[in-house]
Amino acid sequence: MRTDSPALPVATPPPPPSRPARWREYLSREHPWREYPWPVVTSVALVAVVNVAVLANLPLPPFIGPAIGFWFILIQPVYLLHTTGLWGQARGAERLGYSLAGVIFGLMLAGLAADLVLPVVGLERPLDPRPVVLLADLITVGLYLLRRRYPGPRPDRRAIAAVKAAITPLAGRLLAGSGLTVVLAIMGANRLNNDAGDLVSLLALALGVLTVIFLLLWRHEVTETVIMVSLYLLSLALLLMTSLRGWYVTGHDIQTEYQVFQLTQANGRWEIANFHNAYNACLSITILPTELADILRVDGPYIYKVFFQLIFAVCPVLVYAIARRYWPVATAILACVYFISFPTFFTDMPFINRQEIGLLFVAVAVLTITNGSWDIIRRRLTLIAACVAVEMSHYSSMYIFLGILAIAWVIERVLALRKGRTSAAHAEPPPWISVPRVIGIGTVVAVGVVTIGWGFLATQSAGAVLTDAKAAVSGLLGHSAAARSGNVSYSILFGKTATPQEVLNDYTKAVLKIRAATSGDTSYLEQPGEVTRIKAVAQPALPLTSAGRLFADAGVPVAGLNTAIRLAAADAEQVFVAAGLIAFAVARRFRKKVGWEFLCLGIGAVLMLAVVTIVPDLSVDYGLLRVFQEALIMIAPVVVTGSMAIFRPLGVTWAPRVAAGVAVAILISTTGLLPQLLGGYQAQLNLNNSGQYYDSYYTHPQEVAGATWLAWQNGVLPANVEATHASTRFLFTAPGHVTGQQFIEDAFPPLLRQRAWVVIDYSILHTGLATAAYDGDIIPYRYPLLFLSQSSNLVYDNGGVEIYRKGLPKRGHQAAG
Amino acid sequence: MNQPDEDTAAPQDSAGRSEAADGDAPSRRRWWPIAGAVVAVAIAASLLVPASRHQWALSIIRQPARYTALSFRYAWLLPTSNPSSRTFPLFFTIRNEQGHTLNYHYIIRQSDAVGSQTLSTGAQAITSGATWFVDTKVRPTCSVSPCRVEVVLPGHAETIDFILTVTGAVRPHKRKPAARHGHGHHSSRS
């Protein structure tokens, strides 16, 4: 078409910005590599490197080799699963949680399948490095094909540019702060291990607290991805500060966890018959660490010390994601702060690796229950799968979670019936009554069947739960002494528990009973009466620092202040939970805000906590604080809501600020920052080379040398070693010595036997104190070393450990051979 | 699901980034390279000073524990009595984990309520990480029970010992007060 009007000036498009030519552009159009971007090529190359290194048993450089191995066995599969279309509308952290849990569960199941099938076809060691690397290849290829079949959102160039743009100066400061906290935490732990003081660890804690404060202040200025990455790094720093203490396996449960891991690795397969024990029934500490160790090829303890912590640090992020379903960012951050500032998180979880994996699956289960974008069948099936994973990872976490689910279901039914009657009389029933629920009777029964199937039938390792149930019922009916852990004293339901001396007296009585019953076939050392009258002593507190002395000079009772803050923190969290639940009961707008099932889960978690606190023996066998940590996955945002409700009279502006201040103050106190700055309180392991955990659980090189020497002596196995504190530190875990037939008895003075090898550890030699563990409490007492040295031979001494053995009559003289 | 939007971050774009985060886009991150370079130079400079290099080592690298281990080799076969003051073999090891070669001098002595007496001595230089396997013979001549035979390392706190029951009377004039030097095979292995 022609026109007479003058031609409009045409805006010429600007020339495309010049950029360097990409390597693929040099390839011919038909070249197959043109199709693949560089990340794919790099991935294939790294997979090849790991395969060659493992199959040919070639060493990879330190740090780089384990990093590539971790990427190969976990990060890449998680990325592949993360970028499938299986997760629907799920957002970043939630998607990551499902993917991580899926891959870990897949690794455990694949290992179990290999363990069962490969020996049938003649491969006796299915968990050796070569089968495992091929298994990981299969998983990777399978996930790659799954992603091709169900493609999901993948980070393209625009998304990467958006992520880069999201790192604003404020975001950069938050990420740098949290990243530096991790670095300082690692360096601080190393310095403490090298006896170089606590300064760097203190800096790490101070920086971590500052980062939390700025995270709260700048939450509007940064993206949620930045918030979640920061929370992950802060959680990781807290975990590593404890897990990296000591150059060997440090901690309580981790000692037996390491034994069953080494047993699986030494045998090249997992078999419950090798060690019929509840620990050995947990695939999270048998098959999973063996698979990781086969690929990463680091010292065994570092599988738990580093790589399990890298995995578990995702759990607080999932707590954030759960809270974010119904609450704003600030509440979700504070929920995460309550989760990580609970003492069990950083003082005990690094020593209970099976529970770390178990709690990760519990968090995923809660995410599944509350995921409204999935249909009900899918949510139920995923919940059951998550529960299978919890059961295979950690039996106790499953019992507690099953209890919570059952209570939540009962509450839901009762409330639905009440509501239904009321509504039928007056109006239309509310819509949630007719909506199908994830936590139905079918789901609860299915989860129960899973628990029974694995614990009682498959592994036959759950007998203890029946014993505990009997003891609990017997205690409730008053037929037996009702044992309760000292941790119950933190509960507002139970103020008073037995004193340390009373617990020690009970232990002595029980021990003397055992001694009397077994004296027919066991020769015990004859002991004067004063040796058996053992006195509990107080664990020495940290001396006051110069800052503490300043306060003390000003009339502030520093020691009392620290204790008061701790007790107030414990009480405050419980009051906040109660206030939060009351707020939901009273205020309709709160109820409407959260999902109905989530509310029932929260009430279920609180009631389960009450049950464990009130019913005798449960607080001893399951650990009240560990149950609280598990419950916090569901009730952490309720705690925050409760705190805000309590501070509501302060006004709309100040209530959230004070609530946030209280949460940060609890973090400052429980992590040990405040007690360490002032002194006058019990020393914490993450900051000191002293204190109860250090004395009980820290393994010194001299102790390892002593245990190695002991392994080569005659008459040691199966049960002829006695040691105090966490005596399982002296289990033989070297590949040539590890067995499931070893038992180390407490070297409590009345239990000292004639034929036993008695290990006197570093702490007794340096403090004179040993500890007795009874009814979930750890009681220090002065060890009668003089009695032992006067009555037995001192056969090994390296300054850090002494080993005694009573000379045996009629054995003749020493002889070569 | 029903994500709350009250008190959330500023409105976010499709990549999840807040609008507020865009405000100072042109000038952002300029100081990072400079700060990074300053930190790198500071770390490099600190590595040149021995004292700070040591601090870095304490923060990153495991420092070996220094100790000496003293032990009986066949601890389950140690005698419990020596009725006729017989000579019997004694096997023990000294392991040096002190980080450098040391001269170790051992003394085997007996002690009872009456007094103590040296039974055997020996000395040898042991390199770091090596073990000295001492094979010797001793003849305890205690007259009173209990009699303790101990191995001590002068200059070191470590000691090992065993207890003998004296079942027969030993005449004082038969006791040999002089020290007897250790004999037998001494070897050192890493």
> Where would I find the beta strands (DSSP E) of B4-115?
67-72, 88-97, 102-111
The residue ranking higher by pLDDT, B183 or A76, is A76
Q: For residue A801, what pLDDT is reported?
A: 95
Residue A787 has pLDDT above 70, yes or no: yes
Q: Is the pLDDT of residue A87 over 80?
A: yes
Whether A812 sits inside 8 A of B79 (CB atoms) is yes
Show residues of chain B in contact with A166, CB under 8 Å. Answer: 15-17, 21
- Smallest Cβ–Cβ distance between B76 and the set A706, A715, A799 belongs to A715
- Measured between CA atoms, how close is A579 to chain B, in angstroms? 21
**Which residues in chain B are closer than 8 Å to A798, comparing Cβ atoms?**
67-71, 95, 97, 158
A798 touches chain B (CB under 8 A): yes
Percent pLDDT > 70 in chain B is 72
Contacts of A133 (CB under 8 A, 6+ apart): A50, A51, A54, A55, A294, A295
Selection from A303, A301, A264, A300 nearest residue A280 by Cα: A264
Could you tell me the two tokens for A461? 């390792």
CA distance A791 to A752: 11
Q: Which amino acid is at A592?
A: K
The residue with tokens 């000191």 is: A688
Closest CA to A107 of A81, A85, A68: A81
Cβ pair A333, A235 in contact under 8 A: no
Distance from the B178 Cα atom to the nearest Cα atom in chain A, whole angstroms: 24
Collapse the DSSP code of A161 into the 3-class scheme (helix H, G, I; strand E, B; otherwise coil) and give the result: helix
Are residues A341 and A618 in contact, defined by beta-carbon separation less than 8 angstroms?
no
Residue A497 to residues A164, A217, A494, A621, A775: CA-CA distances in angstroms?
A: 55, 41, 8, 16, 11
Query: How far B82 CA sits from the closest chain A CA (Å)?
Result: 9
Contacts of B67 in chain A (CB under 8 A): 701-702, 705, 798-800
At B96 the three-state DSSP class reads: strand
Could you tell me the two tokens for A279? 């620990």
H or E element: which one contains A774? strand A769-774
The values of phi and psi at residue A761, to 5°, are: -85, 180
Task: Give the pLDDT of residue B145.
Answer: 80
Which residues of chain A from 560 to 619 reach within 8 Å of chain B, CB to CB? 593, 595
Q: How many CB atoms lie within 10 A of CB A60?
A: 18
Task: Kindly report the backbone phi and psi dihedral angles of residue B135, in degrees, each rounded to the nearest multiple of 5, phi listed first.
Answer: -115, 115
Res A576 pLDDT > 50:
yes
Tally of CA atoms within 13 A in the half-sphere of A575 that contains its CB: 13
Identity of the amino acid at A125: R
- The tokens describing A614, both together, are 């009130």
Q: Average of pLDDT values for A153-169? A: 79
What span, in angstroms and rounded, lies between the C-alpha atoms of A689 and A508?
29
Angle B148-B67-A764 (CA atoms, 0-180°, nearest 5)?
65
Compute the distance between CA of residue B106 and CA of residue A556 in angstroms, rounded to an integer. 55
Nearest to A223 among B9, B76, B160 (CB): B9
Nearest-CB residue to B63 (from A158, A187, A194): A194
Judged by CB atoms closer than 8 Å, whether chains meet at B18 and A222 is answered as: yes
Distance from the B8 Cα atom to the nearest Cα atom in chain A, whole angstroms: 5
Q: What is the pTM of this model?
A: 0.88
The mean per-residue pLDDT over the stretch A170-187 comes to 95
Residue contact A813–B77, C-beta within 8 A: yes
**Which tokens in the block code for residue A346?**
């950083």
Band of residue A617 on the pLDDT scale cut at 50, 70, 90: confident
Q: Give the pLDDT of residue A33.
A: 52
3-state SS, residue A290: helix
Say if the Cβ atoms of A796 and B160 lie within 8 Å: yes
Return the pLDDT at A538: 87
Tokens for A182, please give them.
Answer: 């991790």
CB B107 within 8 A of CB B155: no
A721-723 vs A757-760, strand pairing mode: parallel
Cβ(B14)–Cβ(A338) under 8 Å? no
Q: Is the pLDDT of residue A94 over 70?
A: yes
Residue B18, SS3 per DSSP: strand
Q: To the nearest whole number, what is the mean pLDDT of chain A?
A: 87
User: Are B98 and B67 a contacting pair, CB within 8 Å?
Assistant: yes
Three-class DSSP category at B94: strand
Could you say which residues from 227 to 256 on chain A have a Cβ atom under 8 Å away from some Cβ of chain B? 247
Which A positions 162-191 lie with beta carbon below 8 A of chain B? 162-163, 165-172, 187-188, 190-191
A700 interface with B at CB cutoff 8 Å? yes
Cα–Cα distance for residue pair A573/A579, rounded to 1 Å: 10
Least confident of A11-15, A700-704, B12-16: B12-16
> pLDDT tens across A503-541, in order?
888 888 888 888 888 877 777 877 777 666 788 998 889
Q: At which residue do the structure tokens 């455990």 appear?
A: A108
* Of A245, A713, A718, A779, nearest in space to A498 by CA: A779
What residues in chain B have per-residue pLDDT under 50? 1-2, 5-27, 169-190
Q: Do A798 and B81 touch (CB under 8 A)?
A: no
CA distance B153 to B9: 70
Task: Report the distance separating Cα A748 and Cα A527, nearest Å.
Answer: 12
Q: In angstroms, rounded to a whole number, what is the distance separating the alpha carbons of residues A108 and A332?
A: 31
Nearest in space to A639 (alpha carbons), one of A571, A567, A578: A578
Q: Is residue A488 very low, low, confident or very high in pLDDT (cuts 50, 70, 90)?
A: low
Q: What is residue A565's three-state secondary structure?
A: helix
Of all residues in chain A, the percent with pLDDT exceeding 70 is 88
User: Which residues of chain B does A595 touch, with a Cβ-Cβ cutoff of 8 Å?
Assistant: 1-2
Beta bridge partner(s), residue B121? B107
Closest CA to A272 of A400, A103, A115, A466: A115
Task: Decide if A761 contacts A754 (C-beta within 8 A).
Answer: no
- A814 and B18 in contact by Cβ < 8 A? no
pLDDT: is B32 or A687 the higher one? A687
Q: Kindly report, residue by residue over A715-730, the tens digit of the pLDDT.
A: 887 778 899 877 788 8
Q: Which residue has the tokens 């023996």?
A: A617
Q: Which of A748, A686, A194 is nearest to A525 (CA)?
A: A748
Candidates A728, A737, A692, A710; CA nearest to A802 is: A710
| pLDDT given at position A179 | 97
Which string of DSSP letters, residue by residue, matches A426-472? HSPPPHHHHS--SS-HHHHHHHHHHHHIIIIIIS---HHHHHHHHHH
pLDDT band at A421 (very low <50, low <70, confident <90, very high): low
Q: Determine contact: A701 vs chain B, CB below 8 A.
A: yes
Q: For A245, which residue in chain B has the nearest alpha carbon?
A: B62
Query: Are B127 and B190 a contacting pair, CB within 8 Å?
Result: yes
* CB half-sphere exposure, B4, CA atoms < 13 A: 21
Put simply, the answer to whether B69 touches A709 (Cβ < 8 Å) is yes
| DSSP string covering A485-519 | -GGGGGSSS------HHHHHHHHHHHHHHHHHHHT
Answer whether A247 sits within 8 Å of B81, measured CB to CB: no
Contact A608, A404 (CB under 8 A): yes
Provide the pLDDT confidence category of residue A496 given band limits of 50, 70 and 90: low
- Among A316, A375, A245, A191, smallest CA distance to A684 is for A245
Question: Which chain A residue has its CA at the smallest distance from B162's CA?
Answer: A793
Find the range with the poorest average confidence among A144-158, A655-669, B163-177. B163-177
Q: Is there a contact between A325 and B3 if contact means CB atoms under 8 Å apart?
A: yes
Residue A22 has what pLDDT? 56
Among A343, A342, A353, which residue's Cα sits nearest to residue A253?
A353
What is the percentage of chain A residues whose pLDDT exceeds 90? 61
DSSP string, A3-16: --SPPPPP-PPPPP
Task: Give tens-digit pLDDT for A626-639.
Answer: 999 999 999 999 99
- Interface predicted TM-score (ipTM) of this complex, two decimals: 0.81
**Nearest-CB residue to B163 (from A331, A713, A807):** A807
For tokens 């493609």, name the residue: A151
Share of chain A residues as helix, strand and coil, in percent rounded to the nearest 5: 65, 5, 30
Q: In whole angstroms, how far apart are CA A534 and each of A300, A483, A531, A758, A767?
A: 38, 20, 7, 18, 16
The reported pLDDT for the residue numbered A735 is 76
Cis check for the bond before A637: say yes or no (omega within 30 of 0). no
Rounded to an integer, what distance in angstroms lies between the CA atom of residue A541 and that of residue A679? 8
Between chains, do A816 and B74 touch, taking CB under 8 Å as contact? yes
pLDDT at A171: 92
Round to whole Å and give the CA distance between A195 and A687: 11
Q: What is the DSSP string of A716-746?
A: -TTT-EEESSSGGGGS--STTT--SS--EEE
φ, ψ for residue A676, nearest 5 deg: -70, -35
- Nearest chain B residue to A219, by CA: B9
* C-alpha pair distances (Å), A234 with each of A134, A359, A522: 35, 18, 52
Does the beta-carbon distance from B77 to A815 stay under 8 Å?
yes
What is the model's pLDDT at position A476? 66
b/e code A223-236 from CB counts within 10 Å (16+ = b): bbbbbbbbbbbbbb
Q: Is the pLDDT of residue A493 over 70?
A: no
pLDDT tens string A202-214? 999 999 999 999 9
- Give me the residues paired with residue B161 across strands: A794, B150
